[in-house]
A and B are shown apart, each in its own frame.
Chain A
Amino acid sequence: NAGVTQTPKFQVLKTGQSMTLQCAQDMNHEYMSWYRQDPGMGLRLIHYSVGAGITDQGEVPNGYNVSRSTTEDFPLRLLSAAPSQTSVYFCASSSGQGISTGANVLTFGAGSRLTVL
């Protein structure tokens, strides 16, 4: 059982380049999300999805796009990378079933470190 798999683990981009961070989960989770983590700060929510075909914005969505064509995959796209997007990115998923009766307990991937020069 792989859980949440993120690729690549490391990436260096030049300003203005585009790229996609991949995220896949094999737990049949309906809910998936992307967070970024910057030095000295907690995780900030970028985008999330409550099921295939449904996405919504989090706290810091600008500069990022997402899509959810399947339950398993939730890619994060940077259309024109900026130095301010240098960060560690985490994808997370949950079953979401307990959302009205329990906390939304997320399972996280190992992270992707992105550097924009």
Chain B
Amino acid sequence: GESVGLHLPTLSVQEGDNSIINCAYSNSASDYFIWYKQESGKGPQFIIDIRSNMDKRQGQRVTVLLNKTVKHLSLQIAATQPGDSAVYFCAENSVDSSYKLIFGSGTRLLVRP
């Protein structure tokens, strides 16, 4: 099926541990940052977003942290499960550029049983 490339940075974690996936973004004017999850053979799926005036946002088992000083975004997954194995992308969106969503290159998360 459709799959992402083979040369992505990979994070390997033990099932039950917490995972932290990092992303550096480029546009200091971006208003929103979004995390997507892409499983093998599927299109990306929305996980969580955060506005640029926030430092932290929590969802179900996931937390996104934003550090605008160093233009860094992270996704924390608590109690990682085998179903979390996927490629994770961060994306940025600016209100000025309206509908243009710019994606990072992705990180592959492997969960060891």
Contact = CB atoms under 8 A, between A and B. Distances in A.
Query: Do A and B interact?
Result: yes
A2 interface: no
A88 interface: yes
Interface string B78-100: 00000000000101010100111
Among A45, A99, A106, which residue has the most Cβ atoms of chain B within 10 A?
A106
B113 interface: no
B16 interface: no
Task: List the 9 closest A-B pairs by CB distance, nearest first.
Answer: A39-B5, A108-B43, A111-B2, A42-B103, A103-B32, A40-B7, A103-B49, A40-B5, A43-B103
B59 interface: no
A37 B87 CA distance: 13
Given A99-B95, A99-B98, A100-B95, A41 B105 contact: yes
Interface residues of B, number: 33
Given A103-B93, A106-B46, A110-B43, A39 B99 contact: no
A111 B32 CA distance: 25
B43 A111 contact: yes
A113 B24 CA distance: 28
Please report whether the interface of chain B is mostly helix, strand, loop or mixed according to DSSP. loop
A106 to B, nearest CB: 6
Contacts of A40: 5-8, 105
How many A residues are at the interface, by size bracket?
35 or more
Nearest to A103: B32
B5 A106 contact: no
Contacts of A92: 43
A77 interface: no
7 contacts: A9-B1, A9-B2, A45-B102, A50-B98, A99-B95, A106-B46, A111-B2
Contacts of A41: 5, 105
A79 B73 CA distance: 39
